[in-house]
Structure 1
Amino acid sequence: MNNNIRVQFVKIPVSESLNTYIENKVSTLIEHYPFIKSGTVFIKKELKNIERECVCELELHVPGKQLFASSNERHFEAAVKETIKQMTHQLKRTKETVFVRH
Structure 2
Amino acid sequence: MNNVIYEYHDVSASERLEQYTEKKLQKIFDRNEFVIRADVFFKTENTSSDETGMKCGIRLSAPGPRLFAESSHDTFEEAVDETINELSRQLSKRKEKMKSY
Amino acid at match of 1:78: E
Q: Determine the C-alpha separation between the residues in 1 that align with 2:69 and 2:48.
A: 18
- In the TM superposition, what whole-angstrom CA distance separates every residue of 1:25-68 from its partner, at most 9, and x where no partner exists? 11111001111022201011012344201000011121122011
Structure 1 unmatched ranges of 5 or more: none
Q: Determine the C-alpha separation between the residues in 1 that align with 2:34 and 2:57.
A: 20
Mapping 1:1-102, distance limit 5 Å: 1-2=1-2, 4-51=3-50, 52-98=52-98, 100=99
Structure 2 unmatched ranges of 5 or more: none
Amino acid at match of 1:92: S
Query: How large is the Cα RMSD of the aligned pairs?
Result: 1.4
Aligned length in residues: 100
Secondary structure, counterpart of 1:21 in structure 2: helix
- Give the TM-score, by structure 1 length: 0.89
When structure 1 is superposed on structure 2, of 77-86 and 43-52 the one drifting more is 43-52
Amino acid at match of 1:22: T
Deviation of the 1:7 alpha carbon? 1.8
Q: Determine the C-alpha separation between the residues in 2 that align with 1:10 and 1:63.
A: 28
Identity rate, percent: 33
